[in-house]
């Protein structure tokens, strides 16, 4: 899969260069380094990759380092969208947090890493939904959400300032769009919402403040109407999501892949409730 992604990423860079400049320019050395490094993800651990990336950033000098870092985090997000592998998503999440914990002898490089400079904005640019993505939009959108769900878990386990206060917000937005809007299934948000609840359901269940919950201003019309009528809180909102997933899982008009994702998420949610009991 990683070799397929590498071929895909190189072709995509050439295509983008052709579109932007009129010339089918091949990847830069920075882009090639990023592709080659991430292609070893299945056989390398986060500390090894962090050392390689840090050394490359430092060796390029302070003027080039921002371009190198941009090329790398762009490639990382590309891979996150390309793969459906939970194992790769977990490794990408671990690598992202590892990089944010890294300091070097070069202050500029340290700042790029510890702030994950530009990474959050790049994610935000992608968070306009499937139509904003260049490739297989639905699959890319679901994969991106799964990666971000794993990143939220990794940041819970080993918190870093660069990811604090915003990663879970994206999950809350996706869940609201997928399970609290009438068009959530049709607009391809429901499967992405299911990913968050399958991967991070335990944390969402335990923490009433997860994702800002009722304070981040992101609610779907179905929940807004229901909560306004009945003055409901976060436990009822969780139950509302589970009910919506159960309906999706049973709806034969919905694609089987989406139904299966809804079933898996529903099982995780049920397990969370049972374990507390």
**Which of 130, 147, 164 is the C-terminal boundary of a domain?**
164
Same domain, 173 and 156: no
Domain boundary among 129, 145, 164: 164
- Same domain flag for 88 and 191: no
Of 112, 140, 164, the residue that ends a domain is 164
**Are 267 and 170 found together in one domain?**
yes
8/50 same-domain check: yes
Residues 29 and 102 in one domain: yes
Q: Say yes or no: 85 and 182 in one domain.
A: no
Find out whether 66 and 117 touch, Cβ atoms under 8 Å.
yes
User: Can you tell me which residue has the tokens 């090329």?
Assistant: 71
Between CA 106 and CA 116 the distance in angstroms is 15
Identify whether residues 100 and 12 lie together within a single domain.
Answer: yes
Written as tens digits, the pLDDT of the chain (277 aa) is: 899 999 999 999 999 999 999 999 999 999 999 999 999 999 999 999 999 999 999 999 999 999 999 999 999 999 999 999 999 999 999 999 999 999 999 999 999 999 999 999 999 999 876 665 655 688 899 999 999 999 999 999 999 999 998 999 999 999 999 999 988 777 678 999 999 999 999 999 999 889 875 555 577 888 876 665 665 677 889 999 999 999 999 999 999 999 999 999 999 999 999 987 5
Structure token pair of residue 58 = 């430092």
The verdict on 252 and 265 lying in the same domain is: yes
User: Domain check: are 147 and 171 in the same one?
Assistant: no
Structural domain that includes position 141: 1-164
Which residue's structure tokens are 């990089």? Answer: 99
Helix locations, the chain, DSSP H: 2-21, 29-38, 46-60, 65-82, 86-100, 107-114, 119-126, 137-157, 167-179, 189-206, 221-230, 234-250, 256-276
Task: Looking at the structure, tell me whether residues 7 and 133 fall in a common domain.
Answer: yes
User: Do 144 and 258 sit in the same domain of this protein?
Assistant: no
Name the domain count of the chain: 2
Per-residue tokens: 117: 């400079």
239 and 170 share a domain?
A: yes
CA distance 223 to 251: 20
| 194-206 confidence digits (pLDDT tens) | 999 999 999 999 9
């Amino acid at each position: 899969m990683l070799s397929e992604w590498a071929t895909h990423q190189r072709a995509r860079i050439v295509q983008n260069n052709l579109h932007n400049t009129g010339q089918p320019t091949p990847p830069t050395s920075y882009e090639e380094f990023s592709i080659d490094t991430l292609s070893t993800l299945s056989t390398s651990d986060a500390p090894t990759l962090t050392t390689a990336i840090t050394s490359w950033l430092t060796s390029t000098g302070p003027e080039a380092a921002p371009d190198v870092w941009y090329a790398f985090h762009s490639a990382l997000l590309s891979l996150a969208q390309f793969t459906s592998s939970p194992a790769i998503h977990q490794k990408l999440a671990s690598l992202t947090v590892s990089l944010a914990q890294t300091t070097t002898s070069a202050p500029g490089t340290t700042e790029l890493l510890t702030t994950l400079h530009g990474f959050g904005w790049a994610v935000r640019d992608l968070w306009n939904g499937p139509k904003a993505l260049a490739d297989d939009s639905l699959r890319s959108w679901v994969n991106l959400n799964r990666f971000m769900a794993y990143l939220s878990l990794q940041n819970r386990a080993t918190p870093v300032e660069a990811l604090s206060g915003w990663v879970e917000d994206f999950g809350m937005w996706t869940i609201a769009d997928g399970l609290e809007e009438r068009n959530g299934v049709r607009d391809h948000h429901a499967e992405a919402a299911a990913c968050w609840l399958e991967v991070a359901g335990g944390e969402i269940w335990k923490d009433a403040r997860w994702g800002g919950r009722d304070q981040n201003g992101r609610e779907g019309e179905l929940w807004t109407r229901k909560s306004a009528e009945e003055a409901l809180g976060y436990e009822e909102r969780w139950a509302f999501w589970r009910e919506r997933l159960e309906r999706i899982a049973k709806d034969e008009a919905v694609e089987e892949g989406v139904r299966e994702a809804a079933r898996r998420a529903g099982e995780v949610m049920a397990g969370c409730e049972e374990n507390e009991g």
